Chain A
Amino acid sequence: MAKIIVVTSGKGGVGKTTSSAAISTGLALRGHKTVVIDFDVGLRNLDLIMGCERRVVYDFVNVINKEANLKQALIKDKRTEGLYVLPASQTRDKDALTHDGVEAVLNELAEDFDYIICDSPAGIEQGAQMALYFAEEAIVVTNPEVSSVRDSDRILGILQSKSRLAEQGKQVKEHLLLTRYNPERVASAEMLSVADVEEILAIPLLGVIPESEAVLKASNQGSPVILDENSEAGQAYSDAVARLVGEDVEHRFLEMQKKGFLKRLLGGK
């Protein structure tokens, strides 16, 4: 049976798709058969970040409407063994994802996969609620910034009342993933620290991903940043995946690094 994990945030542009791509790749690298689903109907982007945009033929809505079967719609990742992408539809019909349709697709995927990662759209409306409804675990992506933290708290409220597990009187397992973290700005007290955000949201910390140029570079190339093993962001995602599967890994990249002269000269990031 597959474990269904939603990557969600409330606020837009905080790094859900970046994180979904990195985490699903990381799980597959560890030998878990993984599928990552783009729930952002009308604003498909996961395909670009995964670098499979030219191989999209059918999409999630085609499968729900039975215009294609799952086998036809799933895109096998070319870089990572055991990783598949189910792209979002570009339709403008917001109600294209029906409750029963999504459930049927997830049930079919669950027979084959170890992990199902759901990349949620922004907001707290129907699309975001559909992405989180069936999840057993939730990765709440948050930036150290007031509006993002507040929206994360709202999405936690929805997870605790409107998810399937909540309706059954159970709890979705919640993880905090703090992204675009800038230790320099935290050190000069311009930016909320990890401890501040943890204190306010009061959920366990899965990882802290530093603000990193490697992320833009990875998106440009269509290669999940976790594959850039030399980058801090890539390493931080690897650590987060290890924690997600239950390993005890110490947090890194939280402190300001004092760059040596040579490193600065060579443009070390």
Chain B
Amino acid sequence: MGIIDYFIKKKQPSSASVAKERLQIVVAHERNHRNQPDYLPLMQQEIIEVIRKYIEIDQDQVSVQLDDNDDCSVLELNVTLPDR
């Protein structure tokens, strides 16, 4: 290993810090979904079917989330449309 490789290698994040970062993201995501009602995945699926009647979209272009606030719940629906 040349000295230049050595310095390039040093700059890359360590194996453990990559692991930590990935974990933080996935765990936060799963915690968000944890308290959601059981019907949500099915509802998301049906919403996707409906949109697909009109526009070609992928599974991951739709996200459905229920946010519980103190006095009301907000159903958030995000659809990313493909470039035209």
Which residues on A are within 8 Å of B, measured CB to CB? 145-146, 149-150, 153-154, 157, 161, 186, 189-193, 196, 199-200
Cβ–Cβ contact A157 & B31, under 8 A = yes
Q: Is B80 an interface residue (CB 8 A)?
A: no
Q: Mark B19-38, 1 if CB is under 8 A from A, else 0.
A: 11011101100110011000
Residues in A with CB closer than 8 Å to B15 are 189-191
| Sample of 6 A–B contacts (CB below 8 Å) | A161-B35, A190-B15, A190-B16, A192-B23, A193-B16, A200-B20
State the CA gap A149–B22 with chains docked (Å): 11
State the CA gap A98–B73 with chains docked (Å): 37
Which residues on B are within 8 Å of A, measured CB to CB? 14-17, 19-20, 22-24, 26-27, 30-31, 34-35
Q: A145-B19, A150-B23, A200-B24 given. 12 additional CB < 8 A pairs?
A: A146-B22, A150-B26, A153-B27, A153-B31, A186-B16, A190-B14, A190-B16, A191-B15, A192-B16, A196-B16, A196-B19, A200-B23
The answer, among B14, B17, B24, B34, for a CB contact under 8 Å with A157, is B34
Residues in B with CB closer than 8 Å to A199 are 20
Cβ–Cβ contact B20 & A153, under 8 A = no
Beta-carbon nearest neighbor of A146 in chain B: B19
Residues in A with CB closer than 8 Å to B20 are 192, 196, 199-200
Residues in B with CB closer than 8 Å to A161 are 34-35
Cβ–Cβ contact B16 & A200, under 8 A = no
Cβ–Cβ contact A189 & B17, under 8 A = yes
The answer, among B19, B26, B35, for a CB contact under 8 Å with A192, is B19
State the CA gap A150–B20 with chains docked (Å): 11
Cβ–Cβ contact A150 & B27, under 8 A = yes
Residues in B with CB closer than 8 Å to A190 are 14-16
Cβ–Cβ contact A149 & B23, under 8 A = yes
Cβ–Cβ contact B16 & A191, under 8 A = yes
Beta-carbon nearest neighbor of A186 in chain B: B16
Beta-carbon nearest neighbor of A147 in chain B: B23
Beta-carbon nearest neighbor of A195 in chain B: B20
State the CA gap A229–B34 with chains docked (Å): 42
Distance (Å) between the CB of A106 and the closest chain B CB?
27
Q: B14, B19, B26: which has the most chain A beta carbons within 10 Å?
A: B19
Residues in A with CB closer than 8 Å to B23 are 146, 149-150, 192, 200
Residues in A with CB closer than 8 Å to B31 are 153, 157
Distance (Å) between the CB of A112 and the closest chain B CB?
37
Residues in A with CB closer than 8 Å to B26 are 150
State the CA gap A191–B17 with chains docked (Å): 9
Cβ–Cβ contact A154 & B17, under 8 A = no
Beta-carbon nearest neighbor of B27 in chain A: A153
Beta-carbon nearest neighbor of B20 in chain A: A196
Beta-carbon nearest neighbor of B16 in chain A: A189
State the CA gap A200–B27 with chains docked (Å): 8
Residues in A with CB closer than 8 Å to B27 are 149-150, 153, 200
